[in-house]
Amino acid sequence: MGWIAENVESITSMKIRDTLSQLITLGMIVSMALIIWKALMCLTGSESPVVVVLSGSMEPAFKRGDILFLHMSEAPFRAGEIVVYNVEGEPIPIVHRVVEVHEQENTGKVDILTKGDANDVDDRGLYAYGQYWLKPQQIMGRAVGFMPYAGWVTIMMTEKPIIKVVSRVCTNTDVSFLIRAYRRPRSAGYNLQGLSNQVFKT
């Protein structure tokens, strides 16, 4: 019966090696993703260089599922720019167009108003209670490019959990940590900063 014990020990050893190999591979993927994300943050000056549009509030400019690429510079904000901004108390930043900018010459104070292209009214109803203008500090980046429909995988994995399960079974590796998203009923866009965890409304 000694050969049975040896075979069992050999199989157990192989399983341990396979598990360790998978963990190392997963760790390398996570590390590489982190490095790439941090590099993009440094290059773009934005804490969220890539977002996914979740709804049609920015149509016809952008459609649901489009991926937007963001950049943040020191240039003054101007009407017509598409920006990503934070709302106090909300975990999901918003992607909309700047429609008004007011700058006070004596103080340098800047007030910004945004609106979705397909919306009938501006975003004051989305801002924090009692807030009627955005501050430059709330803006995370400007949209400088996009990739049509490339973000649908993110949306499907978030809204259809069964797809995530199937993905795990097929690949035997859960890489969904790369994307963390929050569902919102309003126009929104997921931030692919899976490693930093943000999401965007549009």
Q: Which residues are catalytic?
A: 57, 96, 123
Contacts of 36 (CB under 8 A, 6+ apart): none
Please give the single-letter amino acid code of residue 202. T
Neighbour tally for 144: CB within 10 Å: 16
Neighbour tally for 188: CB within 10 Å: 26
Do 202 and 94 contact (CB within 8 A), yes or no?
yes
Do 44 and 71 contact (CB within 8 A), yes or no?
yes
Alpha helices, DSSP H only, in the chain?
2-44, 152-159, 161-171
> In angstroms, rounded to a whole number, what is the distance separating the alpha carbons of residues 80 and 178?
32
